[in-house]
């Protein structure tokens, strides 16, 4: 009986060690960028009931008109100021063409979308952009400061 308990304990120890090693050596998710999206004070009243924020990633060196990828978030503009703290990873960003290489520099546009639908900017949407940031950048600040007419 004592021998079987020793075998069970040894088995459990091997399983736990395997899990620890697997978690430590597993694939780490690439962070395209980390940062904050802010709404300019000038546009507080223009935000209306918009609750959808898109972050659209583009490769500044690409000739392809389609973005590299995009992420969609639900926000509450409320009194303006900070809308979102973000970490853009492959789990969050929908990559448009997975076969393309990951860009080493990015343009990131934030769009506070009035109708919540993807696609092109439309009249009434509020946008801001940061350009040419290195892949993996932290402390990226995107200020939404323009209204699409």
Q: Is residue 17 part of a domain?
A: no
Q: How far is CA 101 from CA 5, 97, 121, 138, in A?
A: 52, 9, 26, 21
Portion of the chain with pLDDT greater than 90, in percent: 61
Classified as helix, coil or strand, 12 is helix
More confident residue, 61 or 27: 61
Q: Which pLDDT score, from 0 to 100, does residue 91 have?
A: 94
Q: 82: pLDDT confidence band, cut at 50, 70 and 90?
A: very high
Q: HSE-up of 103 (CA within 13 Å, CB side)?
A: 25
Residue 24 lies in a domain: no
Residue 30 pLDDT > 70:
yes
CATH number at residue 109: 2.60.40
85 located within any domain = yes
Structural domain of 35 = 31-147
Nearest Cα to 53, choosing from 103, 105, 128? 128
Task: Tell me how many domains the chain contains.
Answer: 1
Mean pLDDT score of the chain, rounded to an integer?
A: 86
**By percentage, how much of the chain surpasses pLDDT 70?**
81
């Amino acid at each position: 009986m004592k021998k079987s308990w020793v075998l069970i304990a040894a088995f459990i120890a091997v399983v736990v060690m395997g899990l620890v090693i697997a978690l430590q050596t597993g694939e780490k998710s690439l962070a395209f960028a980390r940062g904050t999206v802010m709404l300019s004070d000038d546009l507080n009243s223009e935000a209306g009931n918009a609750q959808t924020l898109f972050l659209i990633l583009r490769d500044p060196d690409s000739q392809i008109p389609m973005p590299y990828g995009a992420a969609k978030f639900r926000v509450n503009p409320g009194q303006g100021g900070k809308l979102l703290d973000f970490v853009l990873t492959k789990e969050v960003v929908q990559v448009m063409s997975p076969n393309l290489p990951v860009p080493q520099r990015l343009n990131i546009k934030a769009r506070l979308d009035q109708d919540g639908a993807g696609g092109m900017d439309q009249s009434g949407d509020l946008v801001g952009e940061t350009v040419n940031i290195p892949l993996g950048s932290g402390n990226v600040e995107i200020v939404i400061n323009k209204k699409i007419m």
